[in-house]
Structure 1
Amino acid sequence: MFLTIARYTISAGNERTVLELVSELEAASREEEGCISFDAYLKTGDAQQLVLLERYESAAAFETHRASPHFERLVLGRIVPLLAARTVESFTLPEV
């Protein structure tokens, strides 16, 4: 299992546009082979703080997602220019 947490700080005035683009990204990403879940959450009381929780079967499935045409078009081409900040962290399940 592979988890990615992407945190977006949306530039003022771009909230609605980013949410519409993220909705399109969610739908396309959920159709990818290896994607277990893909959900976006707004911070309570702050419409400029958005977090994406993405679960994949493997790191390879996540890399396939990042190489997809919809990732390049939506995230890199349209969403990132509307953000004030963006961080991405990845996690794996510990082996016991």
Structure 2
Amino acid sequence: MASAYLQVIAHYFAKPGNGDAIVKPLTERAAATRAEPKNLYYEFFRSPVDADHFVILEQYSDADGLAVHRETPHFQRLGFGTIIPLLDRREVTSHMVSGDAA
């Protein structure tokens, strides 16, 4: 049986026309996040219908993994410093997934 993990689903809605400006910093943040000890998975996807809408899927080995992620220099610089100011809004949810979930 696999151990439990934290699943994070984030929706980023860029200010109109700012989707292209978010791709490079999201790509850089994804690579840095994948190197974090508690990160198990990190990918982002751009909507084919709305170029300003992104979905980010993240998994961490425990609930603390997300808190640690948000304090990293790359999240502070790329997230708070670069990406978030370009957003109209963001919606982030997280859920613990039990080890015996299919």
Whole-angstrom CA distance in 2 between matches of 1:94 and 1:48: 33
Whole-angstrom CA distance in 2 between matches of 1:95 and 1:13: 41
Report 1:42-61 matches (<5 A).
Answer: 42-61=46-65
**How many residues are matched?**
96
Q: Who wins on radius of gyration, i.e. which is larger?
A: 2
Report 1:1-96 matches (<5 A).
Answer: 1-94=5-98
Whole-angstrom CA distance in 1 between matches of 2:32 and 2:99: 30
Q: CA deviation digits over 1:47-87, x for unaligned, max 9?
A: 11101000010011111111101111111111010001111
Q: CA deviation digits over 1:28-48, x for unaligned, max 9?
A: 000000100100011221111
Whole-angstrom CA distance in 1 between matches of 2:56 and 2:31: 13
Moved over 4 A (4+): none
SS at match of 1:46: coil
Q: What 5-or-longer segments of structure 1 have no aligned partner?
A: none
Identity of aligned residues (%): 33
TM-score norm. by structure 1 comes to 0.93
SS at match of 1:5: strand
Whole-angstrom CA distance in 2 between matches of 1:20 and 1:95: 34
